A and B are shown apart, each in its own frame.
Chain A
Amino acid sequence: EDQVTQSPEALRLQEGESSSLNCSYTVSGLRGLFWYRQDPGKGPEFLFTLYSAGEEKEKERLKATLTKKESFLHITAPKPEDSATYLCAVRGANSKLTFGKGITLSVRP
Chain B
Amino acid sequence: NAGVTQTPKFQVLKTGQSMTLQCAQDMNHNSMYWYRQDPGMGLRLIYYSASEGTTDKGEVPNGYNVSRLNKREFSLRLESAAPSQTSVYFCASIGGGPFANEKLFFGSGTQLSVL
Report A's interface with B, CB cutoff 8 A. 6, 31-32, 34, 36, 43-44, 46, 49, 51, 87, 89, 91, 94-102
Contacts and interface: CB of A to CB of B under 8 A. Distances in A.
A87 B56 contact: no
Interface in B73-108: 90, 92, 94, 98-99, 101-104, 106-108
B25 interface: no
Given A43-B108, A87-B43, A102-B42, A95 B103 contact: no
Interface residues of B, number: 29
Contacts of B41: 101
Interface of B: 30-31, 33, 35, 40-45, 48, 50-51, 56, 58-59, 90, 92, 94, 98-99, 101-104, 106-109
Given A49-B101, A96-B50, A99-B43, 19 more contacts: A31-B98, A32-B98, A36-B104, A43-B108, A44-B106, A51-B98, A51-B99, A87-B42, A94-B50, A94-B56, A96-B45, A96-B48, A96-B56, A97-B94, A97-B104, A99-B35, A100-B42, A101-B40, A101-B41
A95 B107 contact: no
Contacts of A91: 94
A87 B40 CA distance: 12
A93 to B, nearest CB: 9
Most B Cβ at <10 Å: residue of A32, A89, A91 = A32
B31 A98 contact: no
A43 B45 contact: no
A104 to B, nearest CB: 9
Given A32-B102, A99-B43, A43 B48 contact: no
Nearest to A98: B45
A38 to B, nearest CB: 9
Contact of A43 (B51, B90, B98): B90
Nearest to A93: B98
